[in-house]
């Protein structure tokens, strides 16, 4: 199955890069994508995010299980426990969000904690999206606030789940059967707060994700984010169409 991948990272207008990203491969039909966003305002957010990426890589490459969802849960739990060992300043524990995508053959599995997101597109249409573990998302679900209201800006970053801290993580897990052309975008909030995500497939038609597409997307987020632009991290994967079949109808 021919997949193409891309990733990009930018510090934005922050003084420190706390986003971490990774793409890993294990054989021809197994792939793992990771985005982690260390929590600002708490020491060692960058280290917490790096722990997620390192743990994901090791667990994925050493995994012998046929249960992808258990693997994703284990990555979150092991990362959480390792992050808690970083606590050195009183009661302050570093924290991070994470979003993980595991591709295995014709199946995809994903997990997330916090407000880093996964977007799943099919035929240029968004068909799946993670829901943030945030106070804002809870209030939207209860009909207490509109997502685009001024009040929403004040609670956007108030997370109710994270890796690191007293509460053991409970990642949301999802799975689907894939179709040719399926596109996945994993990103930190520095990206999705600044880019109209419905525009991503069209942008990637002009700028392929395995060429300059990721950098193009990050540049758009950087421009739209202005002087307050957060760190930006994206990873992307797309199941390529079979060009040998298409060429029978549209030679090129």
Tokens for 205, please give them: 């038609």
CA 30 from chain centre, in angstroms, equals 17
β strands within the chain, DSSP E: 3-10, 19-25, 30-38, 96-104, 107-113, 117-122, 125-129, 172-177, 183-187, 232-239
Q: What angle do CA 161, 134, 97 make, to 5 degrees?
A: 45
Q: What is the model's pLDDT at position 79?
A: 98
Length of the chain: 252
- The CATH H-level superfamily of 3-130+171-242 is PPM-type phosphatase domain (3.60.40.10)
Q: What share of the chain is helix, strand, coil (3-state, %, to 5)?
A: 35, 30, 40
CA 84 from chain centre, in angstroms, equals 22
In 3D, which of 117, 140, 107 has the Cα closest to residue 233?
Answer: 117
Domain boundaries, the chain: 3-130+171-242
Q: What is the model's pLDDT at position 46?
A: 96
- Distance separating alpha carbons of residues 214 and 39, to the nearest angstrom: 23
pTM over 0.95: no
Q: What is the model's pLDDT at position 140?
A: 74
Q: What is the model's pLDDT at position 191?
A: 97
Q: What is the model's pLDDT at position 156?
A: 67
- DSSP structural state of residue 241: -
- Distance separating alpha carbons of residues 32 and 71, to the nearest angstrom: 11
Q: What is the model's pLDDT at position 153?
A: 62
- Distance separating alpha carbons of residues 152 and 167, to the nearest angstrom: 25
* C-beta separation of 232 from 21 below 8 A: no
> Could you read off the pLDDT tens digit of each residue along the chain, which spans 252 residues?
689 999 999 999 999 999 999 999 998 789 999 999 999 878 899 999 999 999 999 999 998 788 999 999 999 999 999 999 987 656 688 999 999 999 999 999 999 999 999 999 999 999 999 999 988 877 777 776 765 655 656 566 789 999 999 899 899 999 999 999 999 999 999 999 999 999 999 999 999 999 999 999 999 999 999 999 999 999 999 998 765 544 443 443
Positive or negative torsion for Cα 63, 68, 69, 70: negative
């Amino acid at each position: 199955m021919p997949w193409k991948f891309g990733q990009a990272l930018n510090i934005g207008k922050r003084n420190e890069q706390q986003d971490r990203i990774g793409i890993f491969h294990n054989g021809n039909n197994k792939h793992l994508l990771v985005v982690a966003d260390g929590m600002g305002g708490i020491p060692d957010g960058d280290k917490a995010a790096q722990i997620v990426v390192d743990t994901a890589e090791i667990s994925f490459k050493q995994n012998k299980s046929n249960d992808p969802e258990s693997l994703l849960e284990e990555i979150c739990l092991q990362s959480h426990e390792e992050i808690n060992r970083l606590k050195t300043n009183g009661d302050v524990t570093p924290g991070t969000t994470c979003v993980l995508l595991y591709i295995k053959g014709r199946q995809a599995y994903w997990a997330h904690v916090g407000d880093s997101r996964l977007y799943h597109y099919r035929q240029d249409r968004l068909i799946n999206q993670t829901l943030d573990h945030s106070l804002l998302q809870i209030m939207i679900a209860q009909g207490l606030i509109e997502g685009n209201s001024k009040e929403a800006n004040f609670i956007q970053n108030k997370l109710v789940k994270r890796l690191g801290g007293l509460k053991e993580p409970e990642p949301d897990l999802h799975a689907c059967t894939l179709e040719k052309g399926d596109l996945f975008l994993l990103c930190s909030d520095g990206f999705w707060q600044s880019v109209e995500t419905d525009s991503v497939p069209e942008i990637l038609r002009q700028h392929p994700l395995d060429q300059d597409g990721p950098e193009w997307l990050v540049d758009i987020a950087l421009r739209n984010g202005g002087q307050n632009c957060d760190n930006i991290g994206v990873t992307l994967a797309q199941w390529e169409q079979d060009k040998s079949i298409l060429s029978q109808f549209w030679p090129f």
